[in-house]
Structure 1
Amino acid sequence: MSFKADKPFVLFVCVKNGGKSQMAAGLMDRVAGDSVTTASAGSKPGSAVNDLSAQVLGEVGVDISRNVPRQITVEDQERADLVVILGPEAQVDEVEGTLYERWDTDEPSERDIDGIDRMRLIRDDILERVTDLHAALTTR
């Protein structure tokens, strides 16, 4: 895969940009260091980062507590090499020249797991996916 800049740029998107996409960007930053550029956005952004998302990332040394949800833009997508859409709900109008993939992440609430335990399972699922993606992007 060739990149638009000197290193891969991944844009993570979910509906509210308060949970999964914020978690994915924060975890990619931790895994990748400065070898991958990351950003996150929402198709219908909320007003704040999910408290439980921030708490479970804090447990692994990632601070997203001060992040602010924002709207995805065409410019974001044009700059990105890859847009990762988290979950089935987020809808994105794709732009030409950018790759897209959708991650249907674990949803523990379907197994009656809620609260902090639910969020830890989601974090771990996203961390595994981000680690695999980082390896794919940086192995040439």
Structure 2
Amino acid sequence: MAEKPTVLFVCVHNAGRSQMAAGWLRHLAGDGVEVLSAGSAPAGTINPIAVEAMAEVGIDIAAQQPKLLSDSAVQASDVVITMGCGDACPFYPGKRYEDWKLDDPAGQGLESVRPIRDEIRGRVEALIASLG
């Protein structure tokens, strides 16, 4: 793996789970990891409840914009974390892939999104530990 690994988080809309995961990784790993996120069918804007849930723990993801998943983003990544994007995520040999089964925060209230946010934090902490 590269000296500074690149991690790509992918979900369908790139508006909730993948944005929260990217926010956690930037927050917890600092400059030690390059962080990317994208969606197979990106939404027009980030989920405001995801923004609010992350703001509660001092992480600002409000300026993030959903982005379309590209082959180049996958090729540039050492680790690709998928979150319900199904077969839309391209597969390249030699990449580390993980599929995180997480509830989708879309259409849910803050009370329902908080546990998703907290589960993502735990998974990101384990990811950081595995990157060495």
- TM surpasses 0.5: yes
In structure 2, give the amino acid aligned to 1:56: A
User: TM-score by structure 2 length?
Assistant: 0.91
Report the 3-state secondary structure (helix = DSSP H, G, I; strand = E; otherwise coil) of the residue aligned with 2:22.
helix
Q: 2:65 aligns with which of 60, 68, 81?
A: 68
Q: Mean Cα displacement is larger for which, 13-22 or 96-105?
A: 96-105
| C-alpha distance in 2 between matches for 1:89 and 1:95 | 15
**How big is the alpha-carbon RMSD for the aligned residues of Structure 1 and Structure 2?**
1.8
Mapping of residues 11-22 of structure 1, within 5 Å: 11-22=8-19
Unaligned runs of 5+ in 1: 109-113
User: TM-score by structure 1 length?
Assistant: 0.86
| Aligned residue number for residue 117 of structure 1 | 111
CA contact (8 A) 1:14 1:90 kept: no
Unaligned runs of 5+ in 2: none
Shift in CA distance, 95/89, structure 1 to aligned 2, threshold 3 Å: closer
Quote how far apart the aligned CAs of 1:106 are. Answer: 4.5
| C-alpha distance in 1 between matches for 2:77 and 2:38 | 12
Aligned residues: 131
Quote how far apart the aligned CAs of 1:97 are. Answer: 2.5
In structure 1, give the amino acid aligned to 2:122: E
Report the 3-state secondary structure (helix = DSSP H, G, I; strand = E; otherwise coil) of the residue aligned with 1:49.
coil
| C-alpha distance in 2 between matches for 1:103 and 1:119 | 16
| Aligned residue number for residue 100 of structure 1 | 97
- Give deviations 1:24-79, integer Å, cap 9, x for gaps: 00001111111111110001101000000000101111111111101111110111
Whether 1:59 and 2:56 are equivalent positions in the alignment is: yes
% same residue: 41
